[in-house]
Structure 1
Amino acid sequence: MFDHVFAELRHAARGVVLDGENRILLCRCVLPGAVVWITPGGGIEEGESAGSALRRELLEEVGLNFEGPLRPVWHQRLIGPEYAQGYDGVINDYFLVYAEAFEPAGRLSEVELAAEHLTSFRWWRLDEIADYQGPELFGPRDLAAALDELIAEGPSENPVVLGP
């Protein structure tokens, strides 16, 4: 196996937003060649903390003004230009966010959301993710297993390292 040094990885903060029924809020992201359901969130801007970035992204994308504590639950490192345009890959840090169910309506317009490749939002039950047989993907790919563990056991002391 080769050890590569990558010039630039995009660091992102993502929210594992769960409601009172343990449904997770996901964003439908349409990319060239794939449609992926992902957690809300995005890139951390220069001088911004992961927590500040996630709070900003939640407000912009889905309209959630979250003031509570953010608990890191998952960490993911993906290498390849397909993960973040203009970068060699991405580092995703996922934080647990509990919220009452709401109808996602962020501050970004439909045009701005489309520029972010986001087309819709949906609350998913764990069994719907685990049983899904359609052509669309979930990000991370092992979302059902990671979510099942998180719901059953609660957050671990250190973030769980996820695969692609």
Structure 2
Amino acid sequence: MTAWVVVLAAMALLVLVGIWLVGTANRLDRLHVRTDAAWAALDAALARRAVVARAVSGGIDPPPGDHLRVLADRAEHAPRPDREPAENALTRELATVDRRDLPLTLVAELADAEHRVIIARRVHGDAVRDTLALRRRRVVRWLKLAGTAPSPEYLEIAEPSLSEDVPRPAARVVLRDGDGRVLLFRGHDPARVDEVYWFTPGGGVEAGEDLRTAALRELLEETGVVPDSLVGPVWRRRVAFSFAGRSYDGEEWFFLASLPDGSAVDTSGFTELELATIGEHRWWSPEELLATSETVYPVQFAELLPSLSTWDGTLRPVR
């Protein structure tokens, strides 16, 4: 009887060990899949950064621009053993670029690409760490539970330094009615509720969106208006500002549109943030804008508005 108990106990132990070994092998397989997926995401993020870096190279002077383009090509096509120094060289070169001289849409795209590299690198590093930790266990090594899967490797690259100022390209619309009045919203910064100001419809340009598309989308979302035509951009405004405690490097592109006959302003498409920060809207005549003591952005709005009646096609910087 005792012998049978020993045999049964041994068999149960073998079953448990077998279950543990199968479970460990399956876990290793899932970790390798996770690591491969993380590497693919990191490789794609680095490739996108190289593409954006080439676009940046066209916006700066030829000598440093040519050098940046060469480094971007080298990083994108470097074999795995040479990838780390190539990517680090590109990171260092991008850090020397004066982004104030670039269009903000390109600055925003570069910042987004760099942010994605940081996230993808950390996700890949975590996946490699977890996989190596299991592969290095003695039992896993002795029984070769990893099979023929190659051991994953870290990609030791320096993370780009992200600016504290968030780049924010925006498209705005000067919307006029049949009497020549313009539509303005009255809002405030949630961090400074006592400081109110008036501004045109519009908002941030989304990834992959051109300025005209962004202007039409924002106008529809905020006013429900679909204009017959959109003219411009007529003005360009570069401004540093803060909102809700964050600092932004802003670039606003203003278009001109007319309210179609029979249309009315509908703000039911406001987001929760807009509902919380925009108190009212109204139509302003040019004379009212010149006479008001309230804050209106752009600062030169009242001064330059009459010139839009005979716009000559020139993009004008405004404050």
Q: What TM-score results when the alignment is normalised by the length of structure 1?
A: 0.82
How is 1:21-36 mapped onto 2 (pairs within 5 angstroms)? 21-31=179-189, 32=192, 33-36=194-197
User: d(CA) in 1 for partners of 2:257 and 2:239?
Assistant: 23
1:119 and 2:279 matched:
yes
Higher normalized helix content (fraction of residues): 2
| Alpha-carbon shift at residue 88 of structure 1 (Å) | 3.0
5+ residue gaps in structure 2?
Answer: 1-97, 101-162
| Alpha-carbon shift at residue 157 of structure 1 (Å) | 2.1
5+ residue gaps in structure 1?
Answer: none
| Alpha-carbon shift at residue 9 of structure 1 (Å) | 2.2
Paired residues of 1:84 and 1:90 also in contact (CA < 8 A): no
2:255 corresponding residue in structure 1:
95
| Alpha-carbon shift at residue 120 of structure 1 (Å) | 1.4
2:178 corresponding residue in structure 1:
20
User: d(CA) in 1 for partners of 2:245 and 2:169?
Assistant: 13
Paired AA for residue 157 in structure 1: G
| Alpha-carbon shift at residue 84 of structure 1 (Å) | 8.1
RMSD: 2.3
Paired AA for residue 142 in structure 1: Q
User: d(CA) in 1 for partners of 2:245 and 2:167?
Assistant: 10
2:116 corresponding residue in structure 1:
none
Paired residues of 2:186 and 2:197 also in contact (CA < 8 A): yes
Q: How many residues align?
A: 154
Q: Deviations over 1:95-153 (max 9, x none)?
A: 010124743213425745324x22211110000010113xx3100111100102223xx
Higher relative contact order (CA 8 A, sep 6+): 1
How is 1:1-164 mapped onto 2 (pairs within 5 angstroms)? 7=163, 8-31=166-189, 32=192, 33-79=194-240, 81-82=241-242, 86-100=246-260, 102-109=263-270, 111-115=272-276, 117-133=277-293, 136-151=294-309, 154-163=310-319
| Alpha-carbon shift at residue 82 of structure 1 (Å) | 2.1
3-state SS, counterpart of residue 296 of structure 2: strand
| Alpha-carbon shift at residue 19 of structure 1 (Å) | 1.4
Higher normalized strand content (fraction of residues): 1
| Alpha-carbon shift at residue 17 of structure 1 (Å) | 0.5
Give the 3 Å change call, closer, same or farther, for CA 15–142 of structure 1 in structure 2: same
User: d(CA) in 1 for partners of 2:195 and 2:314?
Assistant: 31
Identity level (%):
30
User: d(CA) in 2 for partners of 1:129 and 1:41?
Assistant: 19
Give the 3 Å change call, closer, same or farther, for CA 69–131 of structure 1 in structure 2: closer
Q: What TM-score results when the alignment is normalised by the length of structure 2?
A: 0.44
